[in-house]
Amino acid sequence: MKIKHIKVPEVSVGQRIDNFLLKNFKGVPKSRVYRAIRGGEVRVNKGRVKADYRLQLDDEVRMPPLRVSTQKPPMMTLRLQEILSEQIIYEDKGIILLNKPSSIAVHGGSGVSAGVIEALRQARPHCKYLELIHRLDRDTSGCLLVAKKPSVHKDMCELFASRKIKKSYLMLVHGKCHFKHKRIKAALEKDVVRSGERIVRVDPKGREAITDFYCLHASNKASVLLAQPKTGRMHQLRVHAAYIEHPIIGDKKYGDQERDKKLGKLGLKRLYLHAVSLEFVIPNSADQFGVCAVLDDAFSGLRRQIMTGYLSR
C-alpha cells in the first residue's frame, strides 16, 4: 500500500477526521487509526490535526498505508436487528432517529466487533447511504440520529458543530442536590492511562466545556437531574456530574463504586444516563423538530424509587 492524498468532497464537509478515516479504513482497528492521527501519520493540508478536527471543502488529507482487513464484517444477529428496528422513533427520507438501548455501541471498535450502524446497514442492504450524525457512549441510552443522505449528514453535522441542537439528558445521581439550577464551566482534557484506556479530566488547560444541570427531584441519597450540555466534549456529562460531587449511578469509570455497591440490592443494571430529547430547526426550513425517547424499565424503575423516597429509608 502507498500513501494517498485525498481532496475532501462536499459530502464529507463538517465530518470529524476520525470518522472520515474509520469509514475509509474499514477493517483497520480503531486504536490503530487513532494512533495514526496522534503520531502525525495522518495530516490535513500538510499539518497535524486532532481527532475532533472537522473537515473543510477541498482539504487535502494524507492517508497513510494502513492495512485494511479483507475479512467481511461479522453478521449481526437477527435479534439485534429486530431490537433496533423496534426502537426507531421517527424516520423520513433523510434521517432515522432511534432510542438506542444501553450497552449497545453506536459502532464497532475498542473491543466491540460492530454496533448500531453496522447492524442497520446489514438490516437495510438496499440503503446506499447510512452514517451516524453523532455518537452516544455505549452505556448511554436515548436519542441517536442516523443520516440516509450525504446532504442531510452534512447539514446535521453543521448544526451539531454550531451548537444549534438542544440536547437534554436525564440522569440519576448519588446524593441530595441542593440546587434548582447550576451551570458548570469546567474545561476538559483527554488523557490515556497505562492500560491504554481513554479518560477525561477537569483541567483548566483543556477545552471549554459547559453544562446546565436542573434538579427535578432530590431525596436524601439520590437525585434526578436534567442536564443540557452547551458543548459536546467526550464524557462531558459524566465528568461534570462527578465534578459537582453527584456522580451518575452505575458509572464504572467516573462514578462512586462504594455507593453503587450499597445500592446493589436494587439490582443496578446500567449507567443511569439517558438522552431524553433533541430539538432543532430543520435545515433549509423554519420548521421546528423535537423528539423524546422513553426510558427503559431499569431506568424508570430506579427513578420511581428515588421519586417516592424509597432510597431514603
Q: Where are the alpha helices (DSSP H) in the chain?
A: 17-24, 30-38, 78-86, 116-123, 150-161, 236-243, 257-262, 297-307
Contact yes or no for 61/77 (Cβ under 8 A):
no
3-state secondary structure of 161: helix
Contact yes or no for 143/275 (Cβ under 8 A):
yes
Site of grid cell 462536499:
10
Distance CA 243, CA 265 (A): 26
Closest CA to 190 of 199, 181, 177: 199
Burial class from Cβ neighbours inside 10 Å (0-12, 13-18, 19+) for residue 57 reads: exposed
Residue type present at position 48: R
Residue of 18, 59, 137, 256 marked active site = 137
Q: How many helices (H) and strands (E) does the chain have?
A: 8, 15
> Which residues touch 151 (CB under 8 Å, ≥6 apart)?
11, 94
CA distances from 134 to 28, 97, 142, 167, 298 (A): 21, 11, 12, 12, 25
Residue 137 a catalytic site member: yes
**Cell numbers found for residue 39:** 503520531
Strands lying side by side in the sheet with 60-63:
4-7, 60-63, 43-44
Q: Which residues pair with 172 in a beta bridge?
A: 224
User: What end-to-end distance do the CA atoms of the chain give, in Å?
Assistant: 65
Q: What are the catalytic residues?
A: 137
